[in-house]
Amino acid sequence: APIIPVNLDRVWGSICSRARGRFVTKVPERIPYPVTVSYGAPLPPETPIHEVRRAVHELGEAAARLRREDRRPLHHLFVRAARRHPFDFAFGDATRPRVSRLRALSASIALARALRPSWSGQEHVGVLLPPSVAAALVNLAAALSGRVSVNLNFTAGRAGMTSAVRQAGLRTVLTSRAFLEKAKLDLPEGTRPIWIEDLAASVGTAGHAAAFFLSLYAPLRLLERACGARRRVFVDDVVTIIFSSGSTGEPKGVLLSHFNVDANVEAVAQVFHVDQHDRVLGILPLFHSFGYLILWFAVNHRMGVVFHPNPLDAGAIGDLVQRHRITILVATPTFLQLYLRRCTPAQFGSLRIVLAGAEKLSERLAQAFEEHFGVRPLEGYGTTECAPAIALSALDFRAPGFYQPGSRRGFVGQPLPGVSVRVVDPDTLTPLPPGSPGMLLVKGPNIMRGYLGRDDLTAKAMHDGWYITGDIALMDEDGFVRITDRLSRFSKIGGEMVPHGRIEEALQDAAGASLQVFAVTAVPDERKGERLAVLHTLDEALLPEIVKRVAAAGLPNLFVPRLDHFVKVERLPLLGTGKMDLREVKRVATEVLSAGAGQT
């Protein structure tokens, strides 16, 4: 008999699911509740399981796109959630420990109305604020007013911010005097500041009363007009522009629509089931795609966010987690290393989910974190262009007669519901069998609208509707994805492709280090085109033994860096997102090794 691929979309959340801990005895989010049942073309009986799974995933991706017809802009969902659960905890930070959902809605309306003169005639509006209640409210206000928020990466330096301002055509930047002074930042050239301190003071009693009335009673279209929207906002309109980190070149502006972000929020909600009792720690800035996703995931799924402006402030973060009973921590492995050293197990006792992304989570770090805190970090994977989540590890499912593992060591999880992935040959783009590394392609409703003002780069990043990630990955028989390296993190030395990530792992293992102490790059070489270079933070007397162990581990000789190609630094260069600053790594290595060559 043939195999018929079938996909059921949106069953989770219906009365026939156990969403919110109930079966049948719950009121669905909407009536009638839509469910999509998709059937694929019949497959031969001998079709391998991975091909059946791929067919089902592609049906799911097509079904997820059909949701566009009945989804609403992100702020519409926020208004509805705030009105249905007005007293739920929404936000908190050091200055405002508790902001309810209704208070968050009223405050964002008041801000949007106060900003109408300053934002008049502008489609793109700049925001330069750290993770905080104020930053969240400003982004909500921008959505309510039909504007496109551009959260500037304040760790990218003057050149990075100036590039973003130029590309987005920003005329104003909403920021804080206290923040600029503390962070020692200058405003990007050509922009006019809007000071959040002055704005808050300008909203009088009448302004707050009007905002409160609108938050309770105004129809959505009237509410948008009152907040300064010049036209009706649609689900396909761009809601934010997030600039890439610029770790390998000039930042690119990624255009994300309401539907892109909403599709990703709903997919993540199917993997991580949250409710009003959950709190997530908001340490990722809103210029980080996952930080932006967390904002909308939280406000539209009854989860609270506790913000802290500095993810490196481990002492304060440990106190916040304990005091606010944080249940979900989303961070980079670099930040997890810091918390492992400086936070106590008791401080992290309320955590039930720790999710790591943005860079590879080493098994050594995951194990050390689990042994110290009693909760194993789950690994996820995404890109800004995918709004951002593509694959996530999940908690295991256990029930009488059932066990379904949600994660696999060394893997980043399975593709999200509604997201389809393929591993293909980098040259021919033909699909590869399970276990074979190749280029990872992604398709789904979360894929960006394109790059701001760069149709050429958009066309280069897409192939027949599939986004080309630039990452080398493999997928196993059970559908788990493993990222092996960035294609851009390979060097061609003597005609051979040499992977930097694999060399970093070998060096870390040889050093027995749970914290990252090596960063591999390549510098120009007249004879071979390129040569490996390694930044490190160790005692140089340890290097000969480490290199000897790497060579003994079975790596090809070409993969083993020479001792004179190691460069000691006080700390490895990082971006504000916690990722390694690959461009700075390369610059430092090139500068030091070139100077050394000149001296010899």
Residues 39-61, mean pLDDT to the nearest whole number = 93
Architecture, CATH, for domain 74-385: 3-Layer(aba) Sandwich (3.40)
pLDDT score at 588: 92
- Minimum mean pLDDT range among 33-47, 319-333, 582-596: 582-596
Paired tokens of 11: 């069953």
> Looking at residue 292, what is its pLDDT?
96
> Is residue 480 very low, low, confident or very high in pLDDT (cuts 50, 70, 90)?
very high
pLDDT tens per residue across span 366-382: 999 999 999 999 999 99
Instruction: Select the more confidently predicted residue: 473 or 554.
Output: 473
From the CA atom positions of the chain, what is the Rg in Å?
Answer: 25
Looking at per-residue confidence, does 555 or 292 come out higher? 292
Position 22 scores a pLDDT of: 75
Phi, psi of 427 (to 5 degrees): -90, -45
Q: Tell me where in the chain the CATH 3.40.50.12780 domain(s) lie.
A: 74-385
Fold of 494-599: GMP Synthetase; Chain A, domain 3 (3.30.300)
pLDDT reading at 516 higher than 80: yes
- Residue range 243-257: average pLDDT? 79
Place of tokens 């420990």: 97
pLDDT given at position 13 = 79
Higher pLDDT, 485 or 415: 415
Residue pair 530/523 in contact by the 8 Å Cβ criterion: yes
What local confidence, expressed as pLDDT, does residue 364 receive? Answer: 87
Q: What is the 3-state secondary structure (H, E, C) of 38-62?
A: EECCCECCCCCHHHHHHHHHHHHHH
* Residue range(s) of every CATH 3.30.300.30 domain in the chain: 494-599
Q: How high is the pLDDT of residue 247?
A: 52
Please give the share of the chain, as a percent, with pLDDT higher than 90: 68
Give residue 500's pLDDT. Answer: 87
| CA dist 299 → 85, 109, 293, 321 (Å) | 11, 15, 10, 19
pLDDT at 598: 43
- Dump the DSSP string for 433-451: -TT--EEEEEESTTS-SEE
pLDDT the model gives residue 531:
86
Q: 91-101 burial, b if ≥16 CB within 10 A, otherwise e?
A: bbbeebeebbb
Backbone φ, ψ for residue 8 (5° rounding): -110, 115
Summarize pLDDT for 563-574 with one digit per residue, the tens. Answer: 989 999 998 988
pLDDT in tens, 202-220: 888 999 999 999 999 999 9
Alpha carbons 53 and 37: distance in angstroms, whole number? 16
**Interacting residues of 318 by C-beta distance below 8 A, sequence separation 6+:** 339, 342, 343, 344, 347, 348
Helical packing angle, 289-300 and 133-144, nearest 10°: 80
Q: Report the C-alpha gap between 27 and 319 in whole angstroms.
A: 38
Residues paired with residue 399 on neighbouring β-strands, in sequence order = 402
pLDDT of residue 599: 43
Which of the four pLDDT bands, split at 50, 70 and 90, describes residue 494?
A: low
| pTM of structure | 0.85
d(CA 203, CA 216): 18
| DSSP line for 536-599 | E-S-GGGHHHHHHHHHHTT--GGGS--GGGEEE-SS--B-TTSSB-HHHHHHHHHHHHHHHHHH
Distance (Å, rounded) from C-alpha 572 to C-alpha 321? 27
Of 248, 575, 237, 241, give the one whose Cα is nearest residue 384.
241
Confidence of residue 244 (pLDDT cuts 50, 70, 90): confident
Give Cα 387 to chain centroid, integer Å.
7
The per-residue pLDDT for 456 is 92
Give 230-246 as a DSSP string. SS---TTSEEEEEE---
Split at pLDDT 50, 70, 90, the class of 501 is confident
Cα 143 to the center of its chain, rounded Å = 20
Q: Which helix (H) or strand (E) holds 211?
A: helix 205-217
What pLDDT is recorded for position 577?
Answer: 66
For 106-157, what is each residue's pLDDT tens digit?
A: 999 999 999 999 999 999 999 999 999 999 999 999 999 999 999 999 887 7
Secondary structure (3-state) at 500: helix
Ranking 152-161, 315-324, 376-385 by mean pLDDT, the lowest is: 152-161
Give CA–CA dist 504/534, Å, rounded: 9
Q: Is residue 125 a contact partner of residue 101, using CB atoms and an 8 Å limit?
A: no
Cβ-count burial 219-252 (b if 16+ within 10 Å, e if not): ebeebbbbbbbeeebebebbbbbbbbbbbeeebb
**Helices H / strands E in the chain, number of each:** 18, 30
